[in-house]
Amino acid sequence: MSKRARLLLVLFFMVIAGVFIYPTVKWYFFVPEEEKTVAQASVEEVRRYSQTKALEVLERLKQGVRENPDAELPEDLSFLVPYAKRNYRIAKESLPGTWTYQAVLSSFVDEKEALETIEDYFRARIISLKELRNRTLQLGLDLSGGLTVTLAPDFSSLAERLGHEPTDVERRDAVDRALEVLNNRIDRFGVTEPQIRKLEGNKILIEIPGDPDPTRVNSFLMGKGRLTFHIVDDETTQKLIEYQRQTGITDPAILAERVDFVPAGTKIAGYYTKDKYGVDKLVRSIAIYEEVGLDGTYLTSAQVSRDPLTGKPVVLFSLNSEGSDIFYKLTSANVDRSLAIVLDDKVKAYATIQEPIRGNVQITGFSTEEAQNISLILRTAALPVDLVIEDYEAVGASLGEDSIRRGVQAIVLGFALVVLFMILYYKGAGIVADIALLLNLFFMTALLSVFNFTLTLTSIAGVILTVGMAVDANVIIYERIKEELRLGKTPASAVKAGFSKAFWTIVDANVTTFIAAIFLSQVGRGPIQGFAVTLAIGIVSSMFTALVVSRLIFDYLVDQRKVKKLSISWRL
């Protein structure tokens, strides 16, 4: 590889690493703690925060108009100026010279528009922070705390599926299979480095590091993925809608207690849509037949697409041959009647059957994320036994800030000692090795960040070990260069021969360790897996910095600077 190609390669990787590490740096050092807390909360709390902040900002604007309408808008409210400019342009009015309280507030049609605009600003900001956090380096349960969830099996649901009271063997088998399903779901839902284990009494304990979104946690823990199709009782539904219009009551549980016109074999179910925060919003209740027309177990796949006309998410379900026959018979017998799609006892969509349907089903009513979650749950199988959350609580860091501080101190101290040793022993060449070591840590952090890696204390140990191992390659190269210099070769020839002779030694040593680390990452779990992944990434990064970055600097010294003597030893 030519020198120019190596330079471009190093610069390219540095830019890419900078892009990868930027979210982590921004999240931990530039995002206010208040916004961090909200970004890690549920969508319901995000909605509450956005609405509260919007009311506060609107009240400040109104107070400013009352007290001093011509006062200039404070810096912390300057985010309203672009919205005010947009409103002035829409109204075809000239922009004011100074943005005052009065100028900004009067740009909105009324207080409702102002409130909605401000709320949308805070909502968009928190959602962007949620997305930012998903691209950062996370801290593990031992360093930052997290959630512990205890699940207990509901064996009555197992008895219903089996048709008889389950034996002890069947109970244990169902819980074991539930453990496997949860492991698969957690892996695919992207929850980082959880700990899942079985407790006495057939209970399951799950420990999730960091501050996971409770909504996301519930989606894979308790989302049974029970998708069913029911025929709608249109006559009873019309009566229900009229009752809801008259009374304003839409809750299905309350309606079930108050109305007396729902016939046997029919039940009341809530019809839900998503609000702008992605939270289920009850629109109204409808009446559906209790008998399941088609169970979701007949679905073989679920793909997310978009309606070409509306742009809304469309879920395409494929049925197996048996399910296709059942669905064809169901839709054939109920043409011009409504069909409801029910997910975990919530009606997500219902529409009139225009003609018999066979094979593939296309339905709307799901958000993109919800449709993707359904697809994941279908692919990872339904839980063999329903699980009930028995305990759900946030836990503090088991090792705490003291361990984090000591871990960072160990990295800094180890790095400083290695830097000092290399300079004292190898003089100027030691500085080259230290630059390579610094870049190695930079690349490692970037790679761990882009994979949303969870950093535990054992992972920190892997980083510390990598710091010590990273200079091994440089030591091998330098000793080869020194041997060539003792033979009387020029600095340029010694550098070329030294890197050439050390290459395969370095590759052999690192590849064997890398293979061991990969194997350990596959068979290990939790902290062991974290240590192995960190070690593997460190090996790849250290090889690149030693063989490419160090070589590039030496080539610059001997080819461009034309140094006559390499500063690589006190005895040469």
- Last-in-domain residue among 80, 110, 135: 135
Q: Environment class of residue 16 by beta-carbon count within 10 Å: exposed (0-12), middle (13-18) or buried (19+)?
A: middle
Residue of 284, 282, 262 lying closest to 274 (CA atoms):
282
The model's confidence at residue 215, banded by pLDDT at 50, 70 and 90, is low
Residues 295 and 260 grouped into a single domain: yes
Is residue 368 predicted with pLDDT exceeding 70? no
Question: Tokens at residue 343, please?
Answer: 């997910």
Taking residue 374's Cβ as centre, other Cβ atoms within 10 Å add up to 24
Residues 88 and 184 grouped into a single domain: no
Question: Do the domain assignments include residue 311?
Answer: yes
| Residue 382: predicted pLDDT | 56
Residues 108 and 64 grouped into a single domain: yes
Q: Environment class of residue 339 by beta-carbon count within 10 Å: exposed (0-12), middle (13-18) or buried (19+)?
A: buried
Residues 211 and 327 grouped into a single domain: no
Question: Tokens at residue 359, please?
Answer: 């094979």
Q: Calculate the average pLDDT of the chain.
A: 82
State which H helix or E strand residue 196 sits in: strand 195-198
Q: Environment class of residue 550 by beta-carbon count within 10 Å: exposed (0-12), middle (13-18) or buried (19+)?
A: buried
Question: Which residues, at least 6 apart from 301, have a Cβ–Cβ distance to it below 8 Å?
Answer: 317, 318, 375, 378, 379
Is residue 52 predicted with pLDDT exceeding 50? yes
Residue of 444, 446, 443, 422 lying closest to 434 (CA atoms):
422
Residues 193 and 278 grouped into a single domain: no
Residues 198 and 251 grouped into a single domain: no
The CATH number of the domain holding residue 414 is 1.20.1640.10
Question: Do the domain assignments include residue 26?
Answer: no
Residues 237 and 342 grouped into a single domain: yes
Question: Which residues, at least 6 apart from 244, have a Cβ–Cβ distance to it below 8 Å?
Answer: 250, 255, 284, 285
Question: Do the domain assignments include residue 310?
Answer: yes
Taking residue 245's Cβ as centre, other Cβ atoms within 10 Å add up to 10
The CATH number of the domain holding residue 192 is 3.30.70.3220
Residues 436 and 535 grouped into a single domain: yes
Cα–Cα distance list, 529 to 27, 189, 521, 525, 536 (Å): 25, 18, 4, 5, 11
| Residue 270: predicted pLDDT | 92
Question: Do the domain assignments include residue 375?
Answer: no
CB 499 within 8 A of CB 551: yes
Distance (Å, rounded) from C-alpha 35 to C-alpha 99? 27
Residues 534 and 438 grouped into a single domain: yes
Whats the size of the chain, residue-wise? 572
The DSSP string of 234-259 is HHHHHHHHHHHHHH----HHHHHHH-
Question: Do the domain assignments include residue 374?
Answer: no
Is residue 379 predicted with pLDDT exceeding 60? no
Question: Do the domain assignments include residue 331?
Answer: yes
The model's confidence at residue 226, banded by pLDDT at 50, 70 and 90, is low
The CATH number of the domain holding residue 341 is 3.30.1360
Beta strands, E only, 411-517: 454-455
Mean per-residue pLDDT, 481-509: 90
Distance (Å, rounded) from C-alpha 461 to C-alpha 153? 38
* Alpha carbon 152 to chain centroid, angstroms: 26
SS3 label, residue 413: helix
Of 526 and 456, more confident: 456
Question: Beta strands 454-455 and 138-139: pairing type?
Answer: parallel
Distance (Å, rounded) from C-alpha 201 to C-alpha 204? 9
Distance (Å, rounded) from C-alpha 213 to C-alpha 201? 28
Q: What is the pLDDT of residues 230-276, one digit of tens each?
A: 999 999 999 999 999 999 889 999 999 899 899 999 999 999 887 77
Cα–Cα distance list, 14 to 211, 443, 464 (Å): 30, 8, 22
Distance (Å, rounded) from C-alpha 327 to C-alpha 361? 9
As for how many domains the chain has, the answer is: 4
Residues 116 and 168 grouped into a single domain: no
Give the least confident one: 165-169, 295-299, 400-404. 400-404
The model's confidence at residue 104, banded by pLDDT at 50, 70 and 90, is very high
CB 466 within 8 A of CB 534: yes
Residues 126 and 150 grouped into a single domain: no
Question: Do the domain assignments include residue 241?
Answer: yes
User: In the block, which residue shows the tokens 């409504």?
Assistant: 338
State which H helix or E strand residue 440 sits in: helix 428-450
Is residue 61 predicted with pLDDT exceeding 60? yes
SS3 label, residue 460: helix
- Last-in-domain residue among 115, 135, 155: 135
* Alpha carbon 234 to chain centroid, angstroms: 41
For a pLDDT cut of 90, what percent of the chain falls above it? 28
Question: Do the domain assignments include residue 566?
Answer: no
Residues 414 and 554 grouped into a single domain: yes
Residue of 185, 350, 366 lying closest to 278 (CA atoms):
366
Q: What's the pTM?
A: 0.67
User: Would the CA dihedral through 283, 289, 293, 297 be positive or negative?
Assistant: positive
- Last-in-domain residue among 375, 391, 407: 391
Q: What is the pLDDT of residues 380-439, one digit of tens each?
A: 445 667 777 788 776 665 555 666 677 678 778 877 888 898 899 999 999 999 999 889
CB 390 within 8 A of CB 152: yes
Domain with 196 in it: 146-224+387-391
